[in-house]
């Protein structure tokens, strides 16, 4: 690897910051302590700081040379509502809250990069380091944009990076086009007429309609969508009634839809609504449908992605860069930023979990798992990538 020596040497310092953040997780839009720490570190290095976008967002401004060109580098800060099962010394001190997705590491990596960029200034232009709240819930990226992120900080492109467990340490994964899926949620309520369960002829049974609808919805994927278009429609909740001897007045089912394109998402929503309404009518029920498009697909731009691949290969070697990675059907609100600006979102391997300190939980070191922990050996790798990317995009 062709890592920056100063970032390798400073690994322990930024590991302490990362582990402190891990021990004090904060949920979406509640990242007050985290943003205080980020702002304090940036101010300690005399980096101008702007706060308040998206509520708890922080933007640092690093300028060098005379060019008016500018780019943005983004890290997310929030934790998840999960009870951590790790018992090592930096485990969460807040019950029911955990950095189970590595945003503590993302924040520390970008801080390390900001420190080095500000110290060396081997670029010509402006690097905005964006510390974003509420990636997990609430669309903090969209909120920062609504609050004027790209109006107040004019940048030509923006970049994101996420650790990826199961991929070998320091291996990069990226691709042009869709690298993360959209995330939509639905709730379908079927209204019928209740009755004693021993007198079903007096009822309009929403439970029978729900059972049929749950099966029918899967035909959208198997009979309406092209087989080559990846998509998921998962029913994750079903509820009806409170007693074994009562046919309820209503019942509902809900779940999630994931796609790599808005066209496929449009098709699924149209068919979901039509099936729900017509099937409900066939059972004598009425359907009430809520379909919420939460995050759009994360679509990398080809030119910016090509530059990122060049930087990755120079940093870790071509054999450690998968430039056409199989995109997961998980979602990411960095998608909102890529709708506004060209850029690239990439994955970096977090290893297989062998890095975890003694006292880790029995579960796998996977995202959103109670036994997860970020791999601190990633800190100089990710920070070196950020620095070299900035220097490549804004040559001195």
Instruction: Clarify whether residues 276 and 351 are in a common domain.
Output: no
Determine whether 302 is exposed, middle or buried from the number of CB atoms within 10 Å of its CB (0-12, 13-18, 19+): exposed
The tens digit of pLDDT for each residue in 205-235 reads 999 999 999 999 999 999 999 999 999 999 9
Question: How far is it, in rounded angstroms, from Cα 212 to Cα 280?
Answer: 9
Provide the number of structural domains found in the chain: 2
One DSSP character per residue, 47-86 reads: --EEE-TTTT-EEEEEEESS---EEEEEEE---BS-----
Q: Based on the fold, state whether residues 276 and 131 are members of the same structural domain.
A: no
On whether both 236 and 104 belong to a single domain, the answer is no
Do 251 and 354 have their domain in common?
A: no
C-alpha 268: how far from chain center:
22
pLDDT at 276: 98
pTM, 2 dp: 0.94
pLDDT, position 137: 87
SS3 110: helix
Looking at 247, 277, 295, the residue that finishes a domain is 295
142 and 32 housed in the same domain: yes
Task: Verify that 130 and 12 share a domain, yes or no.
Answer: yes
* Boundary (domain end) residue, out of 295, 322, 351: 295
Q: Are residues 256 and 119 in the same domain?
A: no
Domain that holds residue 347: 5-180+297-393
User: What is the pLDDT at residue 63?
Assistant: 98
Give the mean model confidence (pLDDT) for residues 92-100.
98
Quick: pLDDT tens for 284-324: 999 999 999 999 999 999 999 999 999 999 999 999 999 99
CATH of the domain at 270: 3.30.70.360
pLDDT in tens, 245-274: 999 999 999 999 999 999 999 999 999 999
User: Is the model's pLDDT at 138 over the cut of 90?
Assistant: no
The distance in angstroms from the start CA to the end CA of the chain is: 23
Q: What is the dihedral of CA 220, 224, 230, 236, to 10 degrees?
A: 0
Helices 206-217 and 262-282: crossing angle in degrees, nearest 10, is 150
Distance CA 34, CA 191 (A): 45
Of 248, 278, 295, the last residue of a domain is 295
User: Quick one: 40 and 56 in the same domain?
Assistant: yes
Q: Give yes or no: residues 314 and 198 share one domain.
A: no
Taking the C-alpha atoms of residue 78 and residue 57, their distance in angstroms, rounded to an integer, is 10
Q: How many CB atoms lie within 10 A of CB 243?
A: 8
Whether residue 77 is found in the same domain as residue 148: yes
Query: What is the C-alpha to C-alpha distance for residues 105 and 365, in angstroms, rounded to an integer?
Result: 14
The whole-number average pLDDT for the span 47-73 is 98
* Phi, psi at 123, each rounded to 5°: -150, 170
Same domain, 76 and 205: no
Grouping H, G, I as helix, E, B as strand and the rest as coil, residue 18 is helix
User: For the chain, percent helix, then strand, then coil, each to nearest 5?
Assistant: 35, 25, 40
CA distance 108 to 104: 6
pLDDT band at 28 (very low <50, low <70, confident <90, very high): very high
Is the confidence at residue 275, as pLDDT, over 90?
A: yes
């Amino acid at each position: 690897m062709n890592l920056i020596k100063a970032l390798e040497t400073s690994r322990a310092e930024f590991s302490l910051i990362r582990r402190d953040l891990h021990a004090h997780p904060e949920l979406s839009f509640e990242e007050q302590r985290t943003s205080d720490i980020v702002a304090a570190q940036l101010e300690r290095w005399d980096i101008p700081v702007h706060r308040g976008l998206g509520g708890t967002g922080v933007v640092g401004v690093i300028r060098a040379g005379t060019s008016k060109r500018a780019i943005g580098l983004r890290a997310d800060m929030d934790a998840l509502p999960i009870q951590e099962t790790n018992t090592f010394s930096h485990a969460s001190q807040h019950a029911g809250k955990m950095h189970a997705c590595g945003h503590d590491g993302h924040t520390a990596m970008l801080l390390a990069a900001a420190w080095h960029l500000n110290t060396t200034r081997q670029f010509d232009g402006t690097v905005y380091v964006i510390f974003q709240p509420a990636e997990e819930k609430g669309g903090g990226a969209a909120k920062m944009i609504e609050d004027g992120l790209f109006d107040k900080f004019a940048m030509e492109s923006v970049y994101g990076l996420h650790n990826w467990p199961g991929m070998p340490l320091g291996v990069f994964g990226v691709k042009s086009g869709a690298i993360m899926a959209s995330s939509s949620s639905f709730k379908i309520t079927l209204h019928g007429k209740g009755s004693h369960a021993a007198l079903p002829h007096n009822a309009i049974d929403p439970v029978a309609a729900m059972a049929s609808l749950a099966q029918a919805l899967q035909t959208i994927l198997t009979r309406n969508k092209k087989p080559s278009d990846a998509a998921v429609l998962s029913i994750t909740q079903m509820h009806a009634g409170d007693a074994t001897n009562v046919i309820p007045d209503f019942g509902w089912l809900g779940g999630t839809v994931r796609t790599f394109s808005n066209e496929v998402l449009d098709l699924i929503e149209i068919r979901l609504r039509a099936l729900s309404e017509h099937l409900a009518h066939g059972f004598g029920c009425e359907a009430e449908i809520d379909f919420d498009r939460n995050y759009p697909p994360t679509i990398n731009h080809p030119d910016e992605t090509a530059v990122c691949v060049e930087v990755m290969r120079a940093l870790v070697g071509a054999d450690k860069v998968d430039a056409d990675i199989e995109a997961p059907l998980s979602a990411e609100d960095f998608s909102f930023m890529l709708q506004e600006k060209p850029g690239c979102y990439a994955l970096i391997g977090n290893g297989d979990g062998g890095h975890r300190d003694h006292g880790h939980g029995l579960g796998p070191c996977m995202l959103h798992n109670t036994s997860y922990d970020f791999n601190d050996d990633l800190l100089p790798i990710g920070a070196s990538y950020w620095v070299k990317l900035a220097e490549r995009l804004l040559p001195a």
